Amino acid sequence: MDTPYSISRLAKAAEIPTTTVRYYERIGLVEPDSRSQGNYRLYSIETLHKLKFIRAAQAIGFTLSDVRTLLGAGNDHPSCGDVQELIQNRLTDIAGRVRDLRHVQKVLKKALANCQKSAPQERCHVLADLGHQ
């Protein structure tokens, strides 16, 4: 192993808290490659790459369960079909969130239009309207 990383050095290089590294270790996404004589966890560059992969996958919407599949749980590399299914599931989730955001946008635009009809010093009726949504 090239210059092993301590947990703090690994976390800093991956730009995540050490608690996150420990959590990923606890749920089986990463594991230390060895231990120092003082029993400190030591990690390899491959673990750093794995952490960066996890962060990138999460940034585009994959769950930790998805990441486990993408990393090949039990050394079983996922097939293209498995990956396509995960991507399709994420796209379905995103479509739902976009639909929800469009609804929020519509409600806010209506509230703003109603608010703009009132004089600035009058009592705002938007707050009462939101209670009836």
- With cut-offs at 50, 70 and 90, classify the pLDDT of residue 117: confident
What Rg, from alpha-carbon coordinates, does the chain have? 23
What's the pLDDT tens digit per position in 25-74? 999 999 999 888 888 889 999 999 999 999 999 999 999 999 998 988 65
pLDDT at 129 over 90: no
User: 41: phi > 0 → left, psi -120 to 50 → alpha, else beta; which?
Assistant: beta
Query: At the topology level of CATH, where does 1-78 sit?
Result: Multidrug-efflux Transporter Regulator; Chain: A; Domain 2 (1.10.1660)
- pTM, to two decimals: 0.74
For residue 43, give the DSSP letter: B
- Calculate the average pLDDT of the chain: 88
Residue 130 reports pLDDT greater than 80: no
CA distances from 91 to 33, 60, 77 (A): 35, 10, 22
Average pLDDT over residues 118-128: 69
pLDDT at 91: 95
User: What are the domain boundaries of the chain?
Assistant: 1-78, 79-133
- Whether the per-residue pLDDT at 22 is higher than 70: the answer is yes
If you search the block for the tokens 């808290």, which residue do you land on?
17
